[in-house]
Every structure is written in C-alpha cells, then in structure tokens.
Amino acid sequence: MKIIIKKTDETTFPGDALILPLSEEDNIRPYKEIDEKLNGLLKKIIDSGEFSGKQNEISLLHTGGKIKPLRVLLIGLGKRNEVTRDKMRQAGGKACSYLRNLNVRDVALSTRTITSLKLMPADFAEGGLLSLYRFEKYKKEELTGGLKSITILSSKDLKKEMKWTKAAAAATHLARDLVNTPSNDMTPSVLVKYAQSLEKVSIRVIERNRAEKLGLGAYLSVARGSAEPPKFIVITYKKKNIPPIALIGKSITFDSGGISLKPARGMELMKYDMAGGAAVLGVMKAASEMDLPLHIIAVLPATENLPGGRASKPGDVVRTMEGKSIEIISTDAEGRLALADAIEYVKKFKPSAIIDIATLTGACSIALGNEAIAMMGNDDSLMRKIEKASEDTGERVWQMPLFDEYKDYIKSDIADLKNSSGRSGSLVTSGYFLKEFAGNTSWVHLDIAGTAWTGKERPYIPVGATGSGVRLLISFLRNLQK
C-alpha cells in the first residue's frame, strides 16, 4: 500500500473511500460540512445508534455521488481521553483490512480528529500497513485485490515520520515472512542468504569447524542431531565509531526438543523458534534503510534442534566459549545453550549493551499469555529505555525478577551450571542462566515465546507470525540517537 500525503478537501477526493475517524464524544461535529453535503446521512447513522464511536467500531455507506469519494467509512476511536497511539494503530488496522476485504483500491484518511487529539496520522497508517500483511507464498492462487494507496489529507510535513513508519512495517513484514516460512525452507543456510541480502552491513558466517575452534561448545551441542549445517551469523552495521549495541536473536529454525522430544501435538509451530533471529534481521534492515547513526552487532546463532544418532543426550556436559561447563538436563532447553555462547561471543566487541530476543520458554506464555514480552536484565536504565520504546510502539513488555536465589535453581552436581531446573520458575531461571553469561555487561533479555505467534487475528496482526520485537527494537535504537 502506497502512502500519499496531500492536502485536498475530503469531499473532492476522487477515490474509493474516505475514512473518517470518530471518538465517542465527537458525534458528527468534526465532519459537519461533509455531512451537510451527504444530506445528513452520517448523523442518521449516529442517531440510529448504529455507530457510536466505540473503539474499532465500523460503519460504511455509499455516497451516491453526493461527494467525490464513492464511500465513507466511519471508524471508532473510543473515548476521547482514552485514545492512545496504539488505539490509533488499531483503528488504522481495522479500517484498512475492512476496506481491503471489500476490494477497495484507493482510500483517503481525514486527519481532523486525529490532529485534534494530538495523535499521529503515521500511527494510523502503520496499523493499516501492518494489518494488510498476507503470507501467500505457498498458495497456488494468489489472493487478489488489496488496497493500493492511502492518501493522508494533511498539509503538515509528515514525510519523515512516514518514512519511519514504512521502514518499521517493512521490517516487521520481513520478520513475519521468515517466521511463517516452514523449516524445510527456512534452514540456518537460508537465514544466511537473508542476512547477505541486507545493505550497508558486513556479514561473517562462522561455520561448524571455526565454531569448534572458537569453543562455542554449548551452541554446537544443539546442532549435533541435525543434518543441516549450523550457521553462527554475525552482522555488523557501523555508522559511528562508538562501542556497539549487540543484538542477539535466538535462531532455532526448528525445535523438536531433540532427544528430550516434544509432544507431537502442536510441534509444527516450532518453526517459529527462530522468531528472535527474524526480529533482529528485520531491525537491521530498518537500521540500514534509515541510516541510523549507530554501531550495531547482530548475532544469530542458527541451528536446528533434532534428535539423531549423534544428538546431545540428557546428562551430557558441554563447555561454553566462556569456559563454564553446562550439564544438559533437557535437550529441549537448547535456546539458552546457543544464547550463552552468543552472549560470550559479542562480549569481545565490548558492547555498551547486549539485548537478546528469544522464544525461550513455554512458561513465558503461561505467565503472560500472548499479551506481553517478558523482560529481564541487569541494568535498570536500559530496561527503562526498552519500556519507553514499548510505550511508543504498543509492543507491551513486562519485567520479571532475577532474584539471587534463582542461582541455586541452576546449580549442577557435576558441572558449573545445568540448563534446566524443571517447571518451577522456568521463565525466570532461563533469564538467570543468561545473566550468568552477561556478567558485568549491561544486558536485557526479551522472551517473545508468547508474542511471536498469534492464533487469533488482532486489529493489526493477522494470524501467524507477528513480527514481535521488531518495532520495539527499532524504536529503542531510534530513541538512542535522539
């Protein structure tokens, strides 16, 4: 969908539909002149109670030639003093996906109420773009139709903000595509191809041999059961000579659990265990597109986790790059093994902060459902910055504790650490495990196991991969340079 910014009068827009956002208190006031030209049709809809401005409520009417746009779509914003940036996105998502399903092509957005609420048309457009995403690579017949353009009726200079919006949506769509793609077509080697398609970055791929020499034993132990070669992908984006921000994305392209095999039911979803890596690739794409004046090192420790004749077994002890030994209690707690080595690896670049993003625990969605990313870390000021980005983007995060007492949970009888302590506290003990590797470096862990996939459609998120964390991290990085 193309975004056009142009100041024309609503009633003269020569397209398929005019979108009029309305809050509950607005009645028809902001659009009085338009309604007069429509002989009071809008007021009739409101007076009849068919439309009251409730959040995401929709009403559509044909204009019958009384004004230039063929249709008017009313979209509810809810109570005036409760409208937020995210409700703006939701309204955009609802309106655009509704119109798309009618096979409408060119639409316009009136910005009167949005401006009077001191909110941003860019957020409405972002919700629109995000809602229109479809994954149809594997369908014989491509779904036809679709919104071609949205014209934002404004005389303000919205160009810069719209550029960010477009970059963030495109990055989210890339992450969604990667995650939705099944694991037979989304192997570690395919992730390498995508990394190599990024512009303005340099790529280094550490193959199994080299990884052995570097001592990435915990990461490599995950790859033992798979015939797909593991790829430890390092992406460098350097626009400024400062210590880097390190982004690490869990990139298990399929997590069967390994010898600690997962139940068959729902296992097909474990293609989404590389959603952290996909998010990081999306963020790097946006960073380079927007020429962020930053230094970023991204690491995707990619591999499959499969059972096999050479696979790691419960009870095995492996050694990390850092030197710590880990007893593998469950081969299904593989994410932290790969991340431990990735964290140690990025530390050699002396990063100012490490952010890892991972579908790490089933317990994450037990605790928070699909509504929030679980956040843990060792640096409060870094976590406050993530929270700021969360407010900006509507990607909710919720902080979980890393009490010292959790240290006992991951003590092993024969090694320095064990990778699983069972169900009790498993969301936070996984975080604590990573904390042992972050050491003194400022670090945040984001568990997106609950948010990276949705089984239910949301106002601007279709069913399937969500792109969780992409807009959050882009906003975090953008705020750094401000």
Give the residue numbers annotated as catalytic, written as ranges: 262, 336
Q: How many binding residues for ligand BES (CB under 6 A)?
A: 15
Residue the block writes with tokens 């959603």: 275
In this structure, what token pair is assigned to residue 33? 């002149």
Please report how close the Cβ of residue 270 comes to Zn ion at its closest, in angstroms: 7
| The length of the chain, given as a count of residues | 482
CB 179 within 8 A of CB 271: yes
Please report how close the Cβ of residue 192 comes to Zn ion at its closest, in angstroms: 20
Chain residues 272-331 in contact with ligand BES, contact rule CB under 6 A: 273, 330
SS3 content of the chain, % helix, strand, coil (to 5): 40, 20, 40
Task: Give me the 297-336 binding string for Mn ion, x by CB under 5 A, dash otherwise.
Answer: -----------------------------------x-x--
Instruction: Report how far residue 121's alpha carbon sits from residue 119's, in angstroms, rounded to the nearest whole number.
Output: 7
Work out whether 276 is an interface residue with Zn ion (CB under 5 A): no
Residue choice 273, 289, 341, 392 for contact with Zn ion (CB under 5 A): 273
CB 449 within 8 A of CB 364: yes
Residue 330 contact partner, candidates Mn ion, Zn ion, ligand BES, none, CB within 5 to 8 A by sort of partner: ligand BES
Please report how close the Cβ of residue 406 comes to ligand BES at its closest, in angstroms: 13
In this structure, what token pair is assigned to residue 49? 């109670």
How would DSSP label each residue in 119-139? --HHHHHHHHHHHT----TT-
CB 446 within 8 A of CB 357: yes
Residue 426 contact partner, candidates ligand BES, Mn ion, Zn ion, none, CB within 5 to 8 A by sort of partner: ligand BES
Residue closer to ligand BES (CB basis): 385 or 445: 445
Work out whether 363 is an interface residue with ligand BES (CB under 6 A): yes
b (16+ CB within 10 A) / e for 364-375: bbebbebebbbb
Task: Give me the 250-279 binding string for Mn ion, x by CB under 5 A, dash otherwise.
Answer: -----x------------------------
Amino acid at 213: K
Q: How many binding residues for Zn ion (CB under 5 A)?
A: 4
Residue closer to Mn ion (CB basis): 10 or 332: 332
Edge-to-edge strands, sheet with 325-327: 317-319, 325-327, 417-418
Work out whether 454 is an interface residue with ligand BES (CB under 6 A): no
User: Residue 462 to residues 126, 243, 285: CA-CA distances in angstroms?
Assistant: 14, 38, 22
Closest residue by beta carbon to Mn ion: 332
Q: Candidates 143-151, 228-236, 252-260, 457-465: pick the segment binding Zn ion (CB under 5 A).
A: 252-260
Residue closer to Mn ion (CB basis): 332 or 436: 332
Instruction: Report how far residue 6's alpha carbon sits from residue 54's, in angstroms, rounded to the nearest whole number.
Output: 28
Query: Using CB under 5 A as the criterion, which residues of the chain lie in contact with Zn ion when the complex forms?
Result: 252, 255, 273, 335
Query: Using CB under 5 A as the criterion, which residues of the chain lie in contact with Mn ion when the complex forms?
Result: 255, 332, 334
